[in-house]
Structures are given as structure tokens and as C-alpha cells.
Structure 1
Amino acid sequence: MRRLDKRNDDIEETLRPYEVPLSNDLTKNIDQLLTFLGHSEDIDVARFNHLPVPFAVIHFEAMNNEDMITDAINSPLMKSQDRKADLFTSDPSLLFSKIQGTKSVPLHTFKDLIEELLHGNVIVLVEGCTIGYGVHGFLVETRNVDEPQNQTVIRGPKEGFVENINVNSSLLRRKIRNPQLRFKTMTVGRSTQTEIRLCYLEDEVDKDVLNEVIRRIENIRTEEVYESGMLEELIDDYGKKHRWYSPFPVARTTERPDTVSSEIQEGKVAVIVDGTPFVLVYPMTFLSYFQAAEDYYQRFDFASFIRFIRLGAFGISLYLPSLYIAITTYHPELVATDLLINLAAQREGIPFPAFIETLLMEVIFEILREGGVRMPRTIGPAISIVGAIVLGDSAVRAGLVSPAIVIVVSLTAISSFVAPAYNFSISARILRFVMMIFAATTGLYGVMFFSTILLIHLCSLDSMGKPYFSPIAPINFKHHKDGFFRFPLWVKNVPFLRPWIQHKAKKENTG
């Protein structure tokens, strides 16, 4: 297997012209480095030529803390020469030992220098040395750890990931104090060279999943990766078994460290991308998207009840508009007489068939939803709520739609927000329109036909080689204790249940 920290071929090709060895002339090295970087004006070069052994400190402005560089590099190197100038004159490389910071391995070529600079590190070059060093730890602070913006917390830790990959790694280290926790670093993007870290437990991780994640990332060929969503799409669309046409996500996207820690404990792989607070987790199953970290912070009976609410809400958001179209258009005999008379009275004078009426309201709500998301936070919710009320009431008064369809669309919209994973609820939003077309053509037969296709598709999906519809298909008794129901945490410690669980797990692993 290729080394995990090896840059991909595109990056190597880009940096190959810079594989020029350093000379022992400080001025020549600085001029050559600036030439390679096009004399960009954001490069800060501090030269100390008046000392017995001249040196230079180089970094990109605004990426590093100037005061910290002065305290850890500039001042120690200057004071050391005031005391023992003869020692450093005879062996200039000893000057590197006076740096008060975390140093990299020796850098022998300009390619090594450029890589260190692009990753936000500080370069130190010394007169008479054919090597340089990169010094870490002076990056400008990013925003502080705060409550997740998109995943609200009722009970549980109120801290979320940030854009700094080192901070995110430390959050996981604080959650999982296990010596088996591993971090593997990779880089993607020919131009951006975005740093990625795989996080997993050495003794728990599925080696096949880990190797598959590594293989897919190493084979990515792209110019840029700015966010984990871009990486997710590049990973999912790679390989012979890719499902580019599937609306269902096969990775969990979360900004909560407790959620990622729980998934890692189950043997999964977390993918941390520098520059984004959203972390990816592989592999995932269909039922996993109806589970939340808060399920384990509450009683098991209430957590199981909430899971069924989420499953029911997903079914409502996917089927309710289609069932309304199918029943009112093709199967009115399935509705009670009194209700049918009320629906017919409401639809009297409506110029559109049920399909066009439902489609019109669904599209309007999607526009309102996107408008509320893109508007400034202070007025976004007000615009979406007021817009929905005003447009819905006006449409009914104008005789364009019936009051019943407003209820249907509203209930559908509310149900789509119940799923803990936002990226999973998007799949229901897309499939809802396809289901409506089938319902408008052949009624309930079309709904059942499309449901069958959807079920077959879910059974055929996989996430990093693992069945997407597990533990339902194939049946996995080991994971059923945390599927539809959230079993009590003490179940695995009950003496008469422990042998049964171990037997089922052993049978599944060997079979």
C-alpha cells in the first residue's frame, strides 16, 4: 500500500520543477525562492545580515503570528550569537537547535521549502547551510470552538468543529483517550493542496473500509478541494461501483465531535478536511441517518420513540403529496364519504388538476425555503414564515389551490426537517417530485411501482463496500440492538444476554 502521506501524482508533477538543492549562500537561496514564487507581495522575508552568522526567516503574511515568530525564532537566534558567536561561526547548523518551536525534518530542496510555506509554516535559512527548517505552530488563530450552527443540541456537549484541522483533531483526542486512536494525513487538490486526516481506532476499524477510503482519496485527480462536500462527491463518484445517479448519501456529515467519536468507537473512519467544520464518516447505513448522538443521552424508551417519529416523518415527506394526488385523482373510493364531499367542495372552481396544484405549491415552498436560507439571518426566518402564510392564504382566496393542499404541503415541509441529517432529507425532497409524477400517471399502482424500484435501489447500494440497507438486508442481529430501537446501554452487560449477543456476532463474522 502506498504511504498515506504521499502527495498524489498531480501535486508531484506541479512541484517537480522546484526540486533544486539549496546552496550554502543565503542570499542566493532567498533570491531563488522568491523567483520560484514570482516575488509575490505577501511573502515576508526578515533578513539578519548584521550578525556573525546571518540567517533569514520567511513566511506568508497574515498566515502567521508575528509576535510569536519574534519570541520563538528571531530573539533566540540573535541572543545565542551574542553569547557564543565563535561556536556558531565554526558550525552554522548548530543555530537551528536554538529555535524554540516545533521543527520539521531538514529541508534540502526548494520544493521542500515551498511545501512548508504553502502549509502555513515558517522557513528558517542560515548562511553556510545547505539545509533549512520549517517551524510549526504560528498560524493565526481561527474562530473559537462554539455550539454547532446547523445541528442544534437539546442535551449533550455544546461544542462543534471549526475550520482548523488541528483544533478538530484535538477535540477528538479529548473525546477518545485511547492509545489506539490514529490520525493519517493525506493531501488532495493540485492547486489547493488541502490537508486531510483520517481518524480511526486501530483495534476497531474495518481494514477493508480503511483501505478503500485511502484508495479512493489517493486516486482523486482535481485542481481544488475547499470543503468536505467536494471531497464527498469525488470519493462517491470514484470506482466501478459508483452510484452517481443515487440521491441517497453514503457518508455522514456532521459538525459535532461527540457524534464523530461515537462513530469511530464503532469501527468507522472519520475524514477531517482542513478549512471546514463538517467532518465525513464512512461507512453509513440507511438507518444511521435516523439516529442522533442525543439518543444516548436520554432514556432508551424515549429515544426509541423519537426514532420511530423520524422514520414516520421521512415517510410523510416522501409519500404524502403523492398519496393525495393518487387518491383524489384515481382512487376516491378509498376516502370516507364525508371527507370526500368536503374535498370535492374545496376543489370546486379550482382550475388545475391535483397534480398541477400540488406541484405548484411544492415548488413555491422550495423557493421560499431557499430564499429563507440565503437571506441574512436576521430577516431570513421572517421572510420564509410570512411568505408562506401570505402566499398560501392568497392562493386559497384567489381560487388557485384548495385549503387541503396547503395542509398537505405544510405537513410535508415540516416532516422534512425532522431527520437529524440534513443531507439525507434532501433525498426525500428530490424523490418526492418523482413520486408525484408516478402518482399522477397511474395512481397508487405507480406509487407502489416506484416504491419497489426504490427498495431495490437501496438494497443494491453500498458505502465503502458495506451494505447500505444493513441490518435489514442482509439481516445483522448484532446491529439490531441499535437499529429501529435503541436498546438500554446495560443490555450488553446482562449475564444471560451476553452469551447470546456474542454467539450472534461470532456467527455473523464467520458466516
Structure 2
Amino acid sequence: MKIYRNKNKQAKEKSAGKHLDKDAISPEVDENIETIKQRLGDPFDFMARSYSYGKDRFALCYIDGMVSKDDLERTIVYPLMDWLRENDSFDTIGDRDFRQHIQIPTKMKETTSLSSTMDDLLRGNIVLFVQGRRQAFIASDQEWATRAISEPESQTLIRGPREGFVETLSINATLIRRRITNPALRFKSFVIGKVTKTQILVTYIEGYVNENALKEVINRIESVDTLEVYETGMLEELMEEKGYSPFPTIQSTERPDVVCSALTEGKVSILMEGTPFVLIAPTTFMSFFQAAEDYYTRFDLSTFIRMIRFISFWISLALPATYVALTTFHQELIPTNLLVSLAAQREGIPFPALIEALVMEGVFEILREAGIRMPRQIGPAVSIVGAIVIGEAAVAAGLVSPAIVIVVSLTAIASFANPYYSISGSARLLRFILMLFAASAGIFGMIVFTLALFIHLVSLKSLGQPFLSPLAPLSVKKQKDAFFRFPLWWEDRKKKKKVGG
């Protein structure tokens, strides 16, 4: 038995040694290049350029389109050739000396793993192989086409900065650094997705951040086990609390000023390569009704507009259900003149109020999606004209009453008043469920649904933090920026913790 185990152990060690040899960098430049070509499937955009001076030889490998060829010659090739002419050989002085002559803006790193080398290559870095060396030298000189910084289309403002995030991670990090010029600003890098290997940055301010929230964010990111991640919306779904909720528990934004404000409040932001949307966690229900512009205009106007947003949210959620409940069960609550008008309008309508409301709401949702998916030049025109034409035709044909057209129109307008699309989507989903409750039990059914909704919101958490804060649990101090926006000069600027520097 002992002999058998020893043989087994030797076999395992031998197998592990072979595996390590396969991943080790060869001292032969051509062998490394061929191995990379085989593992990548001999791609058309893989470039390997070899250079020789006497007995010395080196090769530069990169992905075409991700590196500036002019900079490659100027910063690496010419300095290396000049160094070789002066020193005759790479072995004359050592690695440190020849790397000092390379004129790239970032420090070179070295690796002995071929897998690590390929990861750096696919991220747009330059790989330098030197004949006789069992390590690769990685130089960062990435350059590819990027979208110019422009105003975010999903969060427009009348007053405030016009800059929005783009799809390049380094540019987005720079936009945050320009606004928070403090040495306590931290960026932690992670790679997620077994296939895509997407790079993300967890950003926070040391000394201000909620440590429990930071640990929870990092734990959830490290526990993500998936093949692909292309957008922060996918990461958001993977990080959210277990169980279903129609409400988003992680906030997303395209605005750098919103992210910086959240960081100073002790929150954590998550940036991802390839998307302009940045996640903010933890978040609260109230945060979805607070726009960046609230802090750039007077407090009285900001408070008034914020009240409009809360009212609009409730209108977009409950107005069609209220119409169904009143016309079906509670006609006595409608003023007499209005009741007579509604009765006259509904005379000859073949469908009950619930079917009437569901059909019109469904038609509007179709028009909304069509307007979004169609080309930008004709999408808004088609959606507006389609709504008018279909509404007029439905009323003229006696399929629906004019009152339901008004109700659906007001509901649609109210749903666009919120600064965050994700919370508006929650109201869109819950609106249909609330209509069914209203058609089943009238106002009583709506009350039952509303109580259940509040119970759900109270029990909901955002990365371990209460989602309905500062209402539940109640915090009187934080009410100055919940329903109301108090003047900035009322704010207590004394912080318990100081940011370094």
C-alpha cells in the first residue's frame, strides 16, 4: 500500500510538473510566439514582430487595433536597439537597466506564466520576449477608438455638468479622480467572467466608506461565478439579494457627479469596462427620486420638484387601478356630474373597465417599446402619432371611452417624470397587478396590495442595508434629504471621520 501511494504521489507530481511546464515561458522566442498562436487559434489580428542585433533577439507581440504602432516604434523598438548598440548584449548589465531605457509612460512588469501573458495581451498590452529569458515583459500602451465624452442621454439636466461616463474604464476612473482629488480615493481591481474576463473597479473613499457595505460588495463580487459579463446590469442581477423583488436594490447612473456624491456619503461604486453605466451600492428607495440637479438649484424649487416626482410615481402606479375600482365598485365616490359624464361615455362600450384599461395600457407599452427600438429619427414621431391615431380610432369605433384614454395618457406622462428609468419600470410592472386587485375587490383590494407593498419595501435590503431608510428604521437627522431638500447651509459639515490628506 505504501509503495502504491508513493507511485501515485510521484505520478501526480510528474503530471503537475508537466502542467507547469506547459504554462511556463520558454527561453526560445519563436516557441513562445507559436504557442500563443496555437492557443488563440492563429488569429488574424495577432502581431509578432522580431528584431535582431548580433546574437541578441527580441520580439514584440500585440493585438492589432489595440496598440499604437507609431508609439511602439518610438517608445520600445528604437530605445532597445540603441541600448543594444551601446551594451552589445542583454546579458551585459541586466533586466533592470534595459527596461529603464524603454520610454513607455507606465512601469513594465514581468511574468513567468504564459497564461498571464496571454491575459495581458488580450487586454491590449504589449508583450516583450527576449531570447534566452524565461520571463515576458509587459508594457501598457493601449490605444483604441473610444466614444467621446458627452452628455448622458438617460439623465439630462438643465443645470449642471454635461460630462457622462463612456465605455472605457480608464477614462471613467479619470472622470472621478478629477472631481475627488484626494489621496484617500481607492480603486480595487477585479476580473469576473470565466470567458469574457471583464475588468471592474470597486471605488470608495477610505475613511468615509461604510466598511460593512464595502466588505459585502467585495464578497459578492468574488462569489460571482459566471461565464460572461458584458454590462453592469448583468452584474447587478448577480449581486442582488436572493429572492424576487420588482424594485432595484442597486442604483445605476451615467453621471460622474452622482457617483462622486455617493462616494462622499460612504457608498461604494462599481465601474466596468465596456459600459458607461456605473453601479452605486448600497442604495435606498429615496435615492431613486433624487436627481443631481436638486443640488444645483435652489432648495425650495428642488423640494417642489421632488414632491412632483413622488406624486408622479404614485400616479403611474395607481391611476388606472383607481379608475377601474371607482367605475366598477365605488360609483358613489364619484361626483354626480362626473358620474353622469362617465356613464354617457361608457354607454355602448362592449368591455368592462378592467379589460378596457388593460388593453389601452398594453397598447401604450407596445408603442413605447416601438419608439425606443426604432431608428432615432423616426421613433418619437411614430410613437406620438401612433398613440394619437390609435386612441382616436378606438374612441371613434366605440371600443374604449375617452376617459380611459385620458387616464392612460396621464399615467404615461407621470412615468417619465422620474430621473431613474429602473424605478419607473417597477411601477410599470406593479401597475397591472394593482389593476387586477382593484377589479377584484375595489378600493379594499388596492389597500391590501399597498400594505403588502410597504411590508415588502420594509423587509427589503440593499447589500445588507435597509432599503427604506431613513423612513424604516426612522432617522430624523437624515430627513433633511429625503422627501424634502433642506438648504445646504443647514447641513452639518462636521464629519466623525476625516479623509486622509
Cα deviation, residue 196, structure 1: 0.6
Contact 2:53/2:81 (8 A) holds in 1: no
Q: Tell which deviates more after alignment, 101-110 or 464-473.
A: 101-110
Match in the other structure for 2:7: none
Separation in 2, partners of 1:293, 1:215: 30
Match in the other structure for 1:133: 137
Deviations 1:128-147 (A, max 9, x none): 22211111132214111111
Match in the other structure for 1:211: 215
Q: Tell which deviates more after alignment, 124-133 or 457-466.
A: 124-133
Cα deviation, residue 104, structure 1: 4.0
Cα deviation, residue 24, structure 1: 2.1
Q: 1:49 aligned to 2:52?
A: yes
Contact 1:272/1:279 (8 A) holds in 2: yes
Match in the other structure for 1:310: 309
Match in the other structure for 2:233: 229
Q: 1:186 aligned to 2:190?
A: yes
Cα deviation, residue 493, structure 1: 5.5
Cα deviation, residue 54, structure 1: 1.1
Separation in 2, partners of 1:383, 1:480: 43
Separation in 2, partners of 1:74, 1:153: 48
| AA matched with 2:74 | D
Contact 2:53/2:84 (8 A) holds in 1: no
Q: What value does the CA root-mean-square deviation take over the aligned residues?
A: 1.8
Cα deviation, residue 19, structure 1: 6.0
Separation in 1, partners of 2:381, 2:304: 32
Stretches of structure 2 that go unaligned for 5 or more consecutive residues are: 1-18
Q: 1:266 aligned to 2:259?
A: no
Match in the other structure for 1:3: none
Match in the other structure for 1:487: 486
Contact 1:92/1:127 (8 A) holds in 2: no
Cα deviation, residue 111, structure 1: 1.5
Match in the other structure for 2:74: 71
Report SS of the residue matched to 2:488.
coil
Contact 1:228/1:276 (8 A) holds in 2: yes
Match in the other structure for 1:296: 295
Cα deviation, residue 251, structure 1: 1.1
In structure 2, do the counterparts of structure 1 residues 18 and 320 end up closer, same or farther at CA, with 3 Å as the change threshold?
farther
* Matched-pair identity in %: 49
Contact 2:125/2:141 (8 A) holds in 1: yes
Cα deviation, residue 95, structure 1: 3.0
Separation in 2, partners of 1:338, 1:136: 75
- The two structures have a TM-score, normalised by structure 2, of 0.92
In structure 2, do the counterparts of structure 1 residues 89 and 487 end up closer, same or farther at CA, with 3 Å as the change threshold?
same
Match in the other structure for 1:445: 444
Report SS of the residue matched to 1:480.
helix
Cα deviation, residue 178, structure 1: 1.4
Cα deviation, residue 21, structure 1: 1.8
Cα deviation, residue 17, structure 1: 7.4
Q: 1:147 aligned to 2:148?
A: no
Separation in 2, partners of 1:472, 1:88: 68
Report SS of the residue matched to 2:454.
helix
Cα deviation, residue 50, structure 1: 4.9
Separation in 2, partners of 1:347, 1:310: 32
Q: 1:39 aligned to 2:13?
A: no
Q: 1:331 aligned to 2:333?
A: no
Cα deviation, residue 120, structure 1: 1.5
Match in the other structure for 1:106: 110
In structure 2, do the counterparts of structure 1 residues 232 and 73 end up closer, same or farther at CA, with 3 Å as the change threshold?
same
Contact 1:45/1:57 (8 A) holds in 2: yes
Deviations 1:263-305 (A, max 9, x none): 1110000000110000000011111110011100000011011
Contact 1:148/1:158 (8 A) holds in 2: yes
In structure 2, do the counterparts of structure 1 residues 493 and 236 end up closer, same or farther at CA, with 3 Å as the change threshold?
closer
In structure 2, do the counterparts of structure 1 residues 199 and 435 end up closer, same or farther at CA, with 3 Å as the change threshold?
same
Separation in 2, partners of 1:319, 1:249: 19
Report SS of the residue matched to 1:44.
strand
Contact 1:51/1:78 (8 A) holds in 2: no
Separation in 2, partners of 1:449, 1:194: 44
Separation in 2, partners of 1:76, 1:42: 25
Match in the other structure for 2:275: 276
- The two structures have a TM-score, normalised by structure 1, of 0.90
Count of matched residue pairs = 477
In structure 2, do the counterparts of structure 1 residues 271 and 484 end up closer, same or farther at CA, with 3 Å as the change threshold?
same
Separation in 2, partners of 1:322, 1:17: 66
Cα deviation, residue 37, structure 1: 2.3
Deviations 1:9-41 (A, max 9, x none): xxxxxxx87862223222222222222323222
Contact 1:53/1:89 (8 A) holds in 2: no
In structure 2, do the counterparts of structure 1 residues 313 and 462 end up closer, same or farther at CA, with 3 Å as the change threshold?
same
Report SS of the residue matched to 1:490.
helix
Match in the other structure for 1:11: none
Cα deviation, residue 164, structure 1: 0.3
Q: 1:90 aligned to 2:92?
A: yes
Separation in 2, partners of 1:344, 1:302: 40
Match in the other structure for 1:60: 63
